[in-house]
């Protein structure tokens, strides 16, 4: 597709582009950015855009995944437009290298970390997950990443860290959708610390064996497969540990429609549509409806996280 042929160096002057990357590396070396680990044996984003020798996760779904074209062409990423096809058309303006993530709040190791340091020393694997979209659609996606909890543990969260909040990049120069007031920018999401540490929660850098396309949340996004897709925040630039339940973008925008937890519960209808059934993306408007599964089919793994919680009131 044409929008994938635009290089970051064609958007930003080449000298400036590479200088930014070297500045980040120098900052780590000088101790201005804290280092988490050596990246000698850790995960890296392949220069050619395709991962080699990925391990397959033993508990992946056996369903046939949606096509790469479907996954990369149907996206909610309002920073690049509100229609599903807008992000694929507009996200070529996003510059993902260099990239850094700030860590703040109730943790022993806070600071700003380069993407390379975030990835090291993790081992990437491919996991085939079911993703549930709010508008009664679902898809099967082979994501590439590693458990979010493995990274969060490295930041040494304190006993006060009951929640984890995430923030997306908000740059009007790169993201034309920020000129709209459809949401209060930057986009933000949150999980309880127990949810964030669950091994199903995936910090994601690729899809279908390839580095994430910009419209899918490059270079670093979250996948929480038992929740609705909007909980899986894209293009993460900040992780904040907090003792208080954090504000989340859709709950701020429409609290009567979107709760903090946003678990897939087919017994609770959205005010504007039923959640009881869904269609698999790719089959068109005439795709057969199938029953929506509690916790998106992951009830056996995650239901214990919500023992005693009213999942109708806490939607």
Mean pLDDT of 209-237: 98
> What is the reported pLDDT for 122?
95
What is residue 66's predicted lDDT score, i.e. its pLDDT? 97
Partners of 144 in the β-ladder: 126, 206
Residue 107 half-sphere exposure toward CB, CA atoms < 13 A: 23
- pLDDT band of residue 204 (cuts 50, 70, 90) is very high
Scan for tokens 């582009």, then name that residue. 17
Show me where the domains of the chain are located.
Answer: 2-306
149, containing H or E segment: helix 148-154
Query: What does the pLDDT read at residue 283?
Result: 85
Among the listed residues 240, 234, 230, the one whose alpha carbon sits nearest the alpha carbon of residue 262: 230
Q: Domain 2-306: give its CATH superfamily.
A: Oxidoreductase, molybdopterin-binding domain (3.90.420.10)
* Residue 15 banded pLDDT, cuts 50, 70, 90: very low
Global pTM? 0.88
What's the pLDDT band for 94 if we cut at 50, 70, 90? very high
In tens, the pLDDT along 140-176 reads: 999 999 999 999 999 999 999 999 999 999 999 999 9
- 96 preceded by cis ω (within 30°)? no
Cα 10 to the chain's mean position, in Å?
26
Looking at residue 128, its pLDDT comes to: 98
Residue 183 has pLDDT above 80, yes or no: yes
CA distance 229 to 263: 10
* Better-scored residue on pLDDT, 172 or 44: 172
pLDDT greater than 80 at residue 14: no
Residues ≥6 apart with Cβ < 8 Å to 14: none
Percentage with pLDDT > 90 across the chain: 82
Position 7 pLDDT exceeds 90: no
**Does residue 37 surpass a pLDDT of 90?**
no
Residue 34 has pLDDT above 80, yes or no: no
The confidence score (pLDDT) of residue 31 equals 52
Percent of the chain with pLDDT over 70: 87
Average pLDDT over all residues of the chain: 90
C-alpha 249: how far from chain center: 14
């Amino acid at each position: 597709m044409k929008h994938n042929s635009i290089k970051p160096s064609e958007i930003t002057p080449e000298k400036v582009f590479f200088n930014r990357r070297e500045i980040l590396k120098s900052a780590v070396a000088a101790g201005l950015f804290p280092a988490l680990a050596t990246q000698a044996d850790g995960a890296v984003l392949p220069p050619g855009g395709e991962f080699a020798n990925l391990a397959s996760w033993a508990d992946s779904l056996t369903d046939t995944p949606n096509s790469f074209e479907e996954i990369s062409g149907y996206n909610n990423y309002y920073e690049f437009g509100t229609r599903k096809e807008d992000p694929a058309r507009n996200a070529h303006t996003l510059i993902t290298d260099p990239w850094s993530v700030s860590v703040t709040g109730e943790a022993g190791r806070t600071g700003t970390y380069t993407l390379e340091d975030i990835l090291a020393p993790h081992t990437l694997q491919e996991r085939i997950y079911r993703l549930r979209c709010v508008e009664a659609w679902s898809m099967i996606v082979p994501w590439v990443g590693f458990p979010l909890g493995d990274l969060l543990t490295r930041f040494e969260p304190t006993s006060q860290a009951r929640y984890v909040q995430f923030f997306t990049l908000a740059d009007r120069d790169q993201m034309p959708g920020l000129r709209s007031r459809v949401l209060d920018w930057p986009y933000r999401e949150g999980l309880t610390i127990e949810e964030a540490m669950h091994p199903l929660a995936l910090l994601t850098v690729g899809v279908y064996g390839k580095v994430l396309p910009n419209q899918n949340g490059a270079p670093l996004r979250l996948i929480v497969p038992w929740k609705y897709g909007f909980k899986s925040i894209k293009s993460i630039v900040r992780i904040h540990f907090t003792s208080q339940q954090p504000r989340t973008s859709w709950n701020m925008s429409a609290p009567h429609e979107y709760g903090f937890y946003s678990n897939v519960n087919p017994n609770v209808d959205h005010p504007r549509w039923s959640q009881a059934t869904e269609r698999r993306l790719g089959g068109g408007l005439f795709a057969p409806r199938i029953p929506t599964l509690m916790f998106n089919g992951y009830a056996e793994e995650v239901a214990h996280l919500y023992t005693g919680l009213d999942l109708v009131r806490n939607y």
